[in-house]
Amino acid sequence: MKFKFFFVGKIPSKANYKKISHRRVNGEMKPFIVNNPAVLKSQKEALWQLHVQKLSYGLSNFPIERPVKVSLIFYLSGRVKQRDIDNAEKFVGDILEKGGVLKRDSLIYRKDRVEKRIGVKGFPEVVYIEIEELSDEEKLDHEKGRPKFPEEFYEFLKKMKMELPDEG
């Protein structure tokens, strides 16, 4: 089954999750780490939006406990061209787990597509998330002990004077 989710709102960077604050202890200012309130606000909003969308699919479909493939499109306003979407991807994985869409975000075995679209008007940021469970055959292919490397990989190993772990 294929699920489509949307999140409209500010996508915090993973680097902004924690914030250092200070408090007075015995007359001295001591640093301590707190969760960034802006991040908590974004997470709360994302979790609510995911919940509303999960209701339309039926809560019995969640959390997904099988490996999945995910596609993400980040629609960003024109002023965030420098936005690093690697960190935004981590935020999406976290909210999919916290929101009970996925049992664990480690079930994301494959990202089919990750795109950044710039110049969207009318919204600060929008994330389009497509989730599809892997078939049994695809799951086995991802979990095999020995991957199928391209021939260039073996040439690279020779140049580096390395060998595969099971070669003598």
* pLDDT tens digits for range 110-159: 999 999 988 778 877 899 999 999 999 889 888 886 677 888 988 898 89
137 within some domain: yes
110 within some domain: yes
Write out the residue range of the structural domain in which residue 100 sits. 2-159
Number of compact structural domains in the chain: 1
Tokens representing 12 are 């915090």
* pLDDT tens digits for range 66-113: 999 999 999 988 665 567 788 888 889 999 999 999 999 999 999 999
64 within some domain: yes
- The model carries a pTM of 0.78
165 within some domain: no
**Distance from C-alpha of 8 to C-alpha of 83, rounded to nearest angstrom:** 16
Reference 94, options 150, 12, 31; nearest CA is 12
CATH at residue 142:
3.30.1330.70
167 within some domain: no
Which H, E and C letters describe 71-129, residue by residue? EEEEEECHHHCCCCHHHHHHHHHHHHHHCCCECCHHHEEEEEEEEEEECCCCCCEEEEE
168 within some domain: no
